[in-house]
Structure 1
Amino acid sequence: MTKPRAPRQDAARNREKLLTAAIDAFSQHGLDASLEAIARDAGVGIGTLYRHFPTREALAIAAYQHEVEQLCAKAQELKATLPPDEALREWMSRFVGYVAAKRGLAPILRTVLAPDADLFTDLRALIHGALGDLLHHAAQTGVIRDDIGVEDVMHAMSGVWLASAEPHWHDQAERLLDLLMDGLRYRAPGSGYTRDP
């Protein structure tokens, strides 16, 4: 006879589904996202949502934290499965998706978290660590230049973040990321991009 599924596993699975649905909903609708729709999209009742997240704010903060943690965890997976420059490029594309999701969360987060809140500081450090690791790995293998740091790339990506506010932003964002990667490869020992004589 099959043992019943452990309640703790069900709760963890429901929480994960709620966070995924919340990211989608807040990305599309911002503060106006319907909690009932989030619960429905997650395949749970509204009571289950409130047991995990008693307020809209609690759900938004948890969704934001979850999105950053997932993004940063993906860096290691990409590093292990793709060539270094491709791993970096794919992670940056996912980062743009994260920024688009965060845009919908921003009004809620601003109301409940100070700009220097520990959560923001900790998650920013996670992002910088993931990007720094990918940059270092790609530079060590010679496919990108080694004189560019995390802050340089984050500043360069600010134009990509702005693109995510426009209609049909995704195609433009991808072109901007390709342009950024061309700059990172320029003068790298193993990239084929060299300085003009």
Structure 2
Amino acid sequence: MTDTRPPRADAVRNRRLLLAAAADEFAEHGLDASVADIARRAGVGKGTVFRHFATKDELIAAILIDRINELSAVGERLLDAGDPGEALCEFLTAAAQQRQERDLSFLAEASGSMREVAQARSRMTAALDRLVERAREHGAVRADITGTDVLLLMCAPNYVAGSVPDASPDLWRRYLAIIFDGLRPEGAHALPAEPPRFA
């Protein structure tokens, strides 16, 4: 018989501690971060890590899913916003802030193809597609912009700012503003190629 009881409070707390500790450890040491160091950082034993996550890849996937779900929740909350253009800009700001606080984009190479990660990403892209659609309908962004275009631009502000030595921590905001101005219909010229489509 399947146990349908909710997880105990200490198990929920341990999982939250493990994900936060693992995110910090991976941010500092990359994929070479060890389970032992993650457990030590979380204040638990290695056995506790493996009770929650059978493999290191599962732990990485859980971190990715948590981060993607954070953005999905932001996007879904903004779907009813009164100003669709501001809503899209707020979503892009949240995505850039998340990456600025802790850039873990490299983790996608390890577990980005796992089914659960793909499902979480589909939920997030569905919210983003709808945000872009609403912004287009209200004339806040140019008519030829797609959700995929915006998805591919999400990492650009941090990437550009990260290439500047000793950059101000807020430099990414400058490039996000430039990108968002490029999405606006005012002064837009026809784009030279079709937008990409992902299967």
TM-score (norm 2): 0.69
Q: Displacement, 1:41?
A: 4.4
Contact preservation (8 Å) 2:143, 2:185: no
Percent identical across equivalent pairs? 36
**Cα separation, partners in 2 of 1:182 and 1:122, compared to 1, 3 Å:** same
2:131 is matched with 134
Report which stretch shifted further, 37-46 or 9-18: 37-46
Output the amino acid matched with 1:145. R
- Superposed, 1:79-158 pairs within 5 Å as 79-80=79-80, 83-96=83-96, 97-98=98-99, 101-106=103-108, 109=110, 113=111, 118-119=115-116, 121-157=118-154
Q: Displacement, 1:48?
A: 2.1
Q: Displacement, 1:36?
A: 4.2
TM-score (norm 1): 0.69
Contact preservation (8 Å) 2:60, 2:107: yes
Q: Compare the two structures and name the one with the higher helix fraction.
A: 1
1:184 is matched with 183
**Cα separation, partners in 2 of 1:133 and 1:20, compared to 1, 3 Å:** farther
Q: Displacement, 1:94?
A: 2.9
CA distance in 2, matches of 1:63, 1:182: 32
- Superposed, 1:52-91 pairs within 5 Å as 52-80=52-80, 83-91=83-91
> Where does structure 2 lack aligned partners over 5 or more consecutive residues?
1-5, 189-199
Between the two proteins, the alignment pairs up a number of residues equal to 179
Q: Displacement, 1:179?
A: 0.8
CA distance in 2, matches of 1:124, 1:140: 24
- Superposed, 1:3-18 pairs within 5 Å as 8-18=8-18
Output the amino acid matched with 1:8. R
